[in-house]
Amino acid sequence: MLSIHNLHASIEGKKILNGINLEVKAGEVHAIMGPNGSGKSTLASILAGREEFEVTEGSVDFTGKDLLELSPEDRAREGVFLAFQYPVEIPGVSTINFLKTAINQIREYKGEKPLDAGTFLKTMKEKMKLVEIDQSLLNRSLNEGFSGGEKKRNEIFQMAMLEPRLAILDETDSGLDIDALRIVANGVNKLKNPDNAIILVTHYQRLLDYIVPDHVHVLYKGRIVKSGGKELALELEEKGYDWIKTEQAEIA
């Protein structure tokens, strides 16, 4: 589904990604871990189409299409979804406000008829239950005055509404209390199916107890330096990143 090949990227002349290779197949869950500043959010942003980053080398193929050629909105319409690490506050625009337009844009792109108000409402009610989010939150200005947990829950609610093929969750677990973590994880698990894939960016094993990954990768200095199964996450939890950093220093 997603195939990243030798991806290099920089911002204002500063190199951030230094040759990322990653293969994600339908039905898989990948976890990306790594120390602060290693480039995880940068990778996620580039996949979503943030234009500030300059891709200097490499390619990204998404379901047979050159992802890097597509505008951010066309990537969303193709089924890429990013749950932001730091979702923006937008005064005067509520989630409900833009979500209906978003869904209908995606439908139009796929040649489907716009959703009627009734169906939209029904779907919304269902998904609200799934992530246990309150309607009042969806009517408020996006993220304005939301608690950290509410922001993250709202991101997952949007994911549930948009039903993406590839969901990238950037530290969605940060700032969630234990109950919220479980709710969000359950929501994600219910959305998981053989036709979609999930990339989880996280610092903690905790989340991976709930959403069990098929592959775990360690990103360090803009490169994937280690990949493994779910046991790699346990090892990292126990030992930290120092051993990886040492290993890398020895190679270099």
Partner 1 sequence: MNLATPTTDLLHHYHAALLEHHSMMTHPLHGLSDQLNKDFDVSKWPTTRHEEWKYTSLKALSQIEFSLEASSDSKKLKSYLESLPFYHTEAHHLVFVNGLFHSELSRLIPSEEKTVSSTYVHASLIPEQLAKVIGISCPAERDELRKLNNLVLHDGLSIQLPKGQTATQVYVYQLIDSEQPFAVHSRNLIHLAENAECKVVEHFAAFGNKSHWFNPTTEIQIDAHARLEYCLIQTQSDVGFFTGLSYLRQSDSSQLSHHTISTGGRLIRNNLDLILDGSHIESHMNGLYMLTNDTLVDNHTLVDHQRPHSNSNEFYKGIMDGKSCGVFNGKIFVRQAAQKTNAFQSNRNIVLSPDASVYTKPQLEIFADDVKCSHGATSGQLDEESIFYLRSRGLSHAQAKALLTKAFAGEIVERIPQPELRAYIEQQIDQRF
Ligand X SMILES: Nc1ncnc2c1ncn2[C@@H]1O[C@H](COP(=O)(O)OP(=O)(O)OP(=O)(O)O)[C@@H](O)[C@H]1O
Find the angle CA(237)-CA(240)-CA(243) to the nearest 5 degrees.
Answer: 130
- Between 79 and 213, CB nearer to partner 1: 79
Cα dihedral sign, 230-235-241-243: negative
Tell me how far apart the alpha carbons of residues 17 and 56 are, in angstroms, rounded to a whole number: 9
The CB-of-148 to partner 1 minimum distance in angstroms stands at 17
Residue with tokens 């903690």: 204
Residue with tokens 């950290």: 148
Q: Which residues contact 15 (CB under 8 A, 6 or more apart)?
A: 8, 9, 56, 222
49 binds ligand X (CB under 6 A): no
Choose the binding region for ligand X from 34-42, 131-139, 149-157, 205-213 (rule: CB under 6 A).
34-42
Task: Give the CA count within 13 Å in the CB-facing half-sphere of 92.
Answer: 0
242 binds, among partner 1, Mg ion, ligand X, none (CB under 5 to 8 A by kind): none
Tell me how far apart the alpha carbons of residues 218 and 222 are, in angstroms, rounded to a whole number: 10
Tell me how far apart the alpha carbons of residues 106 and 162 are, in angstroms, rounded to a whole number: 8
Residues present in the chain in total: 252
- Name the β-bridge partners of 169: 83, 200
The CB-of-179 to Mg ion minimum distance in angstroms stands at 24
- Between 156 and 181, CB nearer to partner 1: 156
16 binds, among ligand X, Mg ion, partner 1, none (CB under 5 to 8 A by kind): ligand X
β-strands 223-228, 54-62 pairing: unpaired
36 binds, among Mg ion, partner 1, ligand X, none (CB under 5 to 8 A by kind): ligand X
38 binds Mg ion (CB under 5 A): no
- Between 151 and 215, CB nearer to partner 1: 151
| Per-residue tokens: 91 | 């005064």
- Between 81 and 130, CB nearer to ligand X: 81
Per-residue binder mask for ligand X (CB under 6 A), 194-223, x = binder: ------------------------------
45 binds Mg ion (CB under 5 A): no
Interaction with ligand X in 4-23: which residues (CB under 6 A)? 11-12, 14, 16
Choose the binding region for ligand X from 21-29, 36-44, 130-138, 224-232 (rule: CB under 6 A).
36-44
Tell me how far apart the alpha carbons of residues 107 and 114 are, in angstroms, rounded to a whole number: 6
| Rg (the chain; Cα; Å) | 18
41 binds Mg ion (CB under 5 A): yes
Judged by the rule CB under 8 A, the positions of this chain that interact with partner 1 are 48-51, 71-73, 75-77, 81-82, 84, 87-88, 90-93, 97-99, 101-103, 105-106, 109, 141, 158, 162
* Binder of ligand X out of 51, 52, 238, 242 (CB under 6 A): 52
158 binds, among Mg ion, partner 1, ligand X, none (CB under 5 to 8 A by kind): partner 1
| Per-residue tokens: 63 | 């379901």
